[in-house]
């Protein structure tokens, strides 16, 4: 007795959309990682501190200000003299108010100062921030026993 082979249709999955989605996700994460690293400048060498603490979390809506050894300010990858800081912070305050509905007093300001920068310039940066309305500050330093950046909360 002969059996007739049944018409068997093989189902083939089309993996093209899945591969496209995978490449889109890879591209997205590569761009996000690059933008996050652009916020920090490697030329700013943080001072060491024995009382430095581990960062609790990184705020997506925080402003990072960096002070170089030559007392220039770096904000969002742009380097400029401290005299321009107030104008740029006012523009940033308008941005946070428009897009995040967040007032300057609710926004964290992360300050990374080079170990060779003068302390008076750090104080001047904080004063300018306070003039614009910012009141929450975090100073970054390296913990003496570790090489990673740490937070030092500033009490008002």
Neighbours of 140 (CB within 10 A): 21
E-strand stretches of 30-81 = 48-49, 63-67, 72-75, 78-81
User: pLDDT grade, residue 28 (50/70/90)?
Assistant: confident
What mean pLDDT is reported for the chain?
A: 79
pLDDT at 100: 82
Q: What is the pTM of this model?
A: 0.60
Tens digit of pLDDT for each residue in 117-131? Answer: 888 999 999 999 999
Domain ranges of the chain: 48-153
Confidence band for 70, pLDDT divided at 50, 70 and 90: very high
């Amino acid at each position: 007795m002969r059996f007739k082979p049944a018409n068997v249709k093989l189902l083939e999955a089309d993996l093209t959309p899945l591969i496209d989605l995978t490449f889109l996700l890879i591209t997205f994460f590569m761009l996000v990682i690059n933008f996050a690293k652009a916020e920090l400048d490697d030329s700013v060498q943080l001072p060491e501190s024995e009382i430095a603490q581990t960062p609790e979390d990184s705020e997506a809506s925080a402003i990072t200000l960096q002070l170089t050894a030559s007392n220039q300010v770096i904000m969002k990858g742009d380097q400029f003299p401290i005299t321009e800081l107030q104008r740029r912070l006012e523009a940033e305050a308008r941005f946070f108010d428009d897009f995040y509905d967040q007032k300057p007093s609710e926004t964290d300001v992360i300050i990374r100062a080079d170990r060779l920068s003068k302390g008076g310039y750090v104080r001047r940066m904080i004063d300018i921030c306070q003039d614009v309305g910012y009141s929450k500050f975090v100073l970054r330093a390296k913990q003496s026993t570790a090489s990673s950046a740490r937070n030092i909360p500033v009490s008002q």
